[in-house]
Structure formats: C-alpha cells, structure tokens
C-alpha cells in the first residue's frame, strides 16, 4: 500500500478534496494520485432511443447517435484531462511533492478496487457532480465505496484546513477496536490530540473497554482524552464536537452486510450528512 488516491470529478468539493489529500500525503509521506473516472452513464446516449426509431430512418439516426456518443466521449475525456491538469497544479502549489494523474474509463468503485493493492487512503467529497445544490447531500458513490473498498476513506465536506485535533467515535465493538488499532499504527493522525468518545450508559464494562482503547493509543504516543456520555451516539458526538471544537472525526464502518444498515437510517448516516467537519471512515 503506497498511494493516497484523490477522487476528482469537477464537483464543488474537488478543491477541498485536493487540500485534504495534500495534507494526508504530508502526514503519511506518501505519493498522491489524482484519479478521474470516465463513467459510462456520463458519456453514453440512452440505448433505448433506438427502439423508438422507424424502420426507414433507423440506420441514419443510429449513425448520428453513434457519432454523438463518440463526440460526447471525446469531450468528456478532454474535460477530465483539463480537470486533472488543474488539480495537479493545485496539489503542487499546496505543497505535494509526488503527484501523478490517472484517468480511467469505467465505474469509480471498480477503478478504486483495481487500484486498491497500491492504495493507503481514499479521499473524496461528500457530494459529487450529481449533487451540487445541497452541501449536506451524500454523493451516490460514498456508500458503495465504503461498502466495497477496504482502505480508509477520508470524506471532505467543505473548506479543508489541517485539523488540530481528532475525535474518535468508539462503541467497544470489533469495528471500533479495529479502527483504534489502525489509527494507532498510522502516521495520518500522529501528533493530533485525540478525543475518544463513547455514548450510552456508564458501566464498568464500558469503562474497561474505553480504558483499553485509550491505552492502545497512548502506547503509540497519542495524547488522549476519553469520556463516556449518556445518550444516543449521534446526539453525544454532535454536542461533544461543538463543545470541544473538534476538527476531524474518525469512526469504524460496519463490514459487509451491515454496511447498508450503517448508512441507511443510522446515526452514522446522520453524522455524514450533517457534519461540518471532515470524516475518516476505517474498515
């Protein structure tokens, strides 16, 4: 695993994605790859149109449709190249030293899976080109990326500045423990004061779990503030974030079949939608 992959799509958050990616590459001392995916639904005319064309005109109109598809594909390719060139210049100006650009045909998630063995971190915006009106809309790719890819995912939600602290949402489950282990061993969050936050009833079992997680982080040099607060996880995290001026949130994602529950109708989904700070999701 070597590269930080920044997903560039020309959305309003592309600049934020670049800023977050450059910060990550500096923290991890990793090369940066700027990825743009030419997805089929962007460059292809609706195939169903041919079914409504009369026999006499079909051949001529189909030829025109094919030519239109080819023109749209060429324009999409050129547009993507221009976006990547600009992103490259922006990344270099922001201080990235090792930057490459990559343009691939096909679905974004499939491309990320293809690149996964050489990927340390994926960075993308909360909204994509299909969601530009509402800053709190979750882009169509986020759930699929989190469900399918096995690399940490950094979600940019707005103007990005290097965070001065991080809050880890912890519930004592296996996914949360895995997230703690990955955070402890990764240079991405090294040096940041860490707030380890647990929600729910205060019990001796939860206190023991929280203390173990705290010690794992402290062992790797983290300065940790740990707390358990009664209430549901969404309310607790939201209030803690505001009161302590948290600038980055980290959480573990459910694996495999539970991911849809994790995103749809869950507290974590609410956090992704409503958060005004970047989020780090770990598998």
Within-domain flag for 276: no
Same domain, 206 and 182: yes
Pick the range with the lowest mean pLDDT from 77-86, 134-143, 216-225, 236-245: 134-143
What is the rounded average pLDDT of the residues 194-223?
96
Q: How far apart are alpha carbons 260 and 115 in whole angstroms? A: 24
Q: Is the pLDDT of residue 209 over 60?
A: yes
- One-character DSSP codes across 199-237: ES---HHHHHHHHHHHHHHHHTT--EEEEEESS-HHHHH
* 249 vs 187: CA distance, rounded Å: 16
Same domain, 117 and 240: no
pLDDT at residue 266, as a whole number? 63
CATH number at residue 221: 3.40.50.620
Shared-domain flag, residues 232 and 183 = yes
For 256: left if phi > 0, alpha if psi spans -120 to 50, otherwise beta; the answer is left
Question: Could you report the per-residue pLDDT of 220-278, keeping only the tens digit for each?
Answer: 999 999 999 999 888 899 999 999 999 999 987 654 444 444 444 466 667 778 889 99
pLDDT(44) > 80: no
Task: Tell whether the model's pLDDT for residue 52 goes beyond 80.
Answer: no
Residue 155: predicted pLDDT: 94
The answer as to whether 129 is a domain residue is yes
Domain boundary among 125, 157, 189: 157
Residues 130 and 187 occupy one common structural domain:
no
Q: How do residues 8-29 score in pLDDT, each as one tens digit?
A: 987 778 899 999 999 999 999 9
Q: Is the pLDDT of residue 217 over 90?
A: yes
pTM: 0.85
Strand (E) or helix (H) holding 86: helix 55-93
**Nearest in space to 263 (alpha carbons), one of 171, 139, 156:** 139
Mean pLDDT of 105-125: 94
Evaluate if residue 77 carries a pLDDT over 70. Answer: yes
Q: Is residue 266 part of a domain?
A: no
Distance CA 111, CA 9 (A): 14
Residues 33 and 150 occupy one common structural domain:
yes
pLDDT of residue 260: 44
Q: Is residue 224 in a domain?
A: yes
Q: Is the pLDDT of residue 131 over 90?
A: no
Supply the range of the domain harboring residue 110: 3-39+75-157
CA 28 from centre of chain:
17
Residues 245 and 171 in one domain: yes
- The whole-number pLDDT of residue 1 equals 65
Largest Cα separation within the chain, whole Å, is 80
- Domain tally, the chain: 2
Predicted pLDDT of residue 21:
98
Would you call 167 helix, strand, or coil by DSSP? strand
Place of tokens 């607060």: 229
């Amino acid at each position: 695993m070597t590269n930080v992959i920044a997903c560039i799509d020309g959305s309003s958050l592309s600049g934020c994605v670049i800023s977050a990616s450059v910060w990550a590459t500096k923290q991890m001392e990793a090369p940066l790859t700027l990825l743009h995916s030419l997805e089929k639904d962007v460059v292809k005319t609706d195939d169903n149109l041919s079914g409504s064309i009369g026999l006499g005109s079909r051949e001529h109109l189909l030829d025109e449709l094919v030519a239109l598809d080819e023109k749209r594909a060429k324009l999409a390719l050129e547009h993507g190249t221009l976006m990547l060139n600009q992103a490259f210049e922006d990344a270099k100006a922001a201080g990235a030293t090792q930057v490459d650009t990559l343009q691939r045909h096909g679905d974004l998630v499939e491309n990320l899976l293809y690149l996964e063995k050489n990927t340390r971190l994926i960075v993308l915006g909360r909204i994509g080109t299909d969601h530009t009106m509402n800053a709190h809309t979750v882009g169509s790719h986020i759930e699929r990326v989190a469900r399918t890819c096995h690399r940490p995912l950094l979600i940019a939600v707005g103007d990005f500045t290097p965070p001065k602290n991080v809050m880890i949402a912890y519930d004592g489950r296996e996914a949360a423990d895995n997230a703690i282990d990955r955070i402890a061993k990764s240079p991405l969050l090294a040096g940041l004061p860490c707030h380890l936050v647990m929600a729910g009833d205060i019990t001796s079992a939860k206190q023991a779990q929280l203390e173990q997680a705290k010690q794992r982080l402290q062992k790797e040099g983290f300065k940790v503030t740990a707390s358990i607060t009664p209430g549901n996880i969404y309310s607790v995290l939201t209030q803690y974030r505001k009161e302590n001026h948290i600038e980055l949130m980290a959480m573990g994602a459910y694996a495999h079949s539970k991911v849809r529950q994790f995103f749809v109708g869950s507290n974590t989904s609410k956090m992704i939608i409503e958060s005004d700070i970047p989020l780090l999701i770990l598998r």
